[in-house]
């Protein structure tokens, strides 16, 4: 598959001279350090990426995670979580302080990675930075996209893993079979609710994803933090933050009937980002102190010094 990214409205095209186009050969190459980083065929467990059926030490726990997630992520639950966490009254801290907090977090839903999250953030950001040196907003998006996982920590309510991590999906309409471990949705009460179990449910065709309630987790929380703290990142960055775990859409093409024109444009950026988010989960280590000044400068450019969380 080849992805052709047209000139975005908010700046010069990623990694090109003005007016040029750049073609991305899907899953062929990433640059993480001096020279070329070839996308690995297997993850750190020796299995293919996002293989939820592969037998391995984490497979049983990952499947149990999705069973609990799919049972409990209802439309009413998401409404309650968004109402509570949109208050942003937990703590005040900077973006970098939040990055450091992620040293305490391991994502139990991820079949590809068991390193502390700060490693993944820097791997993603640095991979993007090498390929797209002129698009600093995209570098910063790579760094911050998973910061919402602090919801797992006591000071943020210590939410269970199923309410923080994992693939996300719309609630309030039928659960598409493209969602991982779809069979467990049959235990979700919304599955049998006629208000929620049709193709459109409570939505309408082309309503726009901004009007769709997504399963609650770190994606939506970090989106709320960025938006309500008046960050100046472009709309594509906010789209990436909010939907980077929405694999049923950006890998399988499900739920496109809910998208509007802006969603279609931003989805191009998300699909580019996802390659770095997924395949930079490697053994490549990043020198945190070496890159820290650069990312602090981007944080200062796009965010206030302290944010409400």
Instruction: Detail the residues annotated as belonging to a binding site for substrate.
Output: 50, 107-109, 149, 166-167, 244-245
- The DSSP line for 171-197 is SSSPPPTTSTTGGGGGGSGGGG-TTTS
**CA-wise closest residue to 220 among 168, 155, 261:** 168
- Separation CA 277–CA 264 (nearest Å): 20
- Separation CA 232–CA 223 (nearest Å): 12
193-199, long-range: CB < 8 A, 24+ apart: 196/75, 196/171, 196/172, 197/173, 198/173, 198/174, 199/173, 199/174, 199/257
Could you list the residues known to form a binding site for Fe cation, using ranges.
Answer: 120, 145-146, 218, 244, 277
Contact 52, 180 (CB under 8 A): yes
Contact 123, 32 (CB under 8 A): yes
Could you list the residues known to form a binding site, using ranges.
Answer: 50, 107-109, 120, 145-146, 149, 166-167, 218, 244-245, 277
CA angle 252, 207, 268 (to 5 degrees): 40
- Separation CA 171–CA 158 (nearest Å): 23
Element (H, E) at 297: helix 288-302
């Amino acid at each position: 598959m080849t992805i052709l990214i047209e000139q975005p409205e908010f700046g010069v095209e990623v990694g090109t001279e003005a007016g040029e186009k750049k073609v991305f050969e899907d899953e062929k190459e990433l640059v993480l350090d001096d020279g070329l980083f070839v996308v690995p065929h297997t993850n750190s467990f020796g299995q293919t990426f996002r293989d939820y059926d592969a037998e391995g030490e984490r497979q049983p726990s990952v499947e149990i995670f999705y069973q609990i997630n799919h049972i409990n992520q209802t439309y009413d639950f998401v409404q309650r979580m968004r109402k509570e966490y949109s208050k942003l009254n937990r703590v005040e801290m900077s973006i970098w302080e939040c990055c450091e907090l992620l040293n305490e977090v391991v994502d139990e839903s991820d079949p590809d990675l068991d390193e502390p999250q700060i490693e993944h953030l820097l791997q993603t950001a640095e991979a993007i930075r090498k390929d797209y040196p002129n698009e600093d907003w995209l570098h910063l998006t790579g760094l911050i996209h998973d910061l919402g996982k602090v919801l797992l920590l006591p000071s943020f309510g210590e939410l269970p893993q199923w309410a923080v991590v994992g693939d996300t999906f719309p609630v309030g309409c039928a659960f598409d079979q493209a969602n991982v471990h779809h069979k467990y949705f049959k235990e979700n009460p919304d599955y049998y609710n006629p208000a929620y179990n049709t193709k459109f449910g409570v939505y309408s065709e082309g309503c726009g994803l901004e009007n769709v309630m997504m399963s609650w987790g770190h994606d939506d929380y970090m989106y709320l933090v960025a938006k309500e703290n008046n960050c100046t990142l472009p709309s594509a960055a906010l789209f990436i933050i909010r939907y980077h775990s929405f694999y049923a859409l950006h890998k399988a093409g499900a739920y496109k009937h809910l998208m509007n024109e802006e969603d279609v444009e931003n989805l191009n950026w998300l699909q580019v980002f996802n390659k770095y988010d997924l395949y930079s989960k490697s053994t490549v280590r990043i020198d945190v102190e070496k890159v820290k000044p650069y990312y602090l400068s981007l944080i200062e450019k796009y965010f206030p010094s302290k944010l409400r969380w």
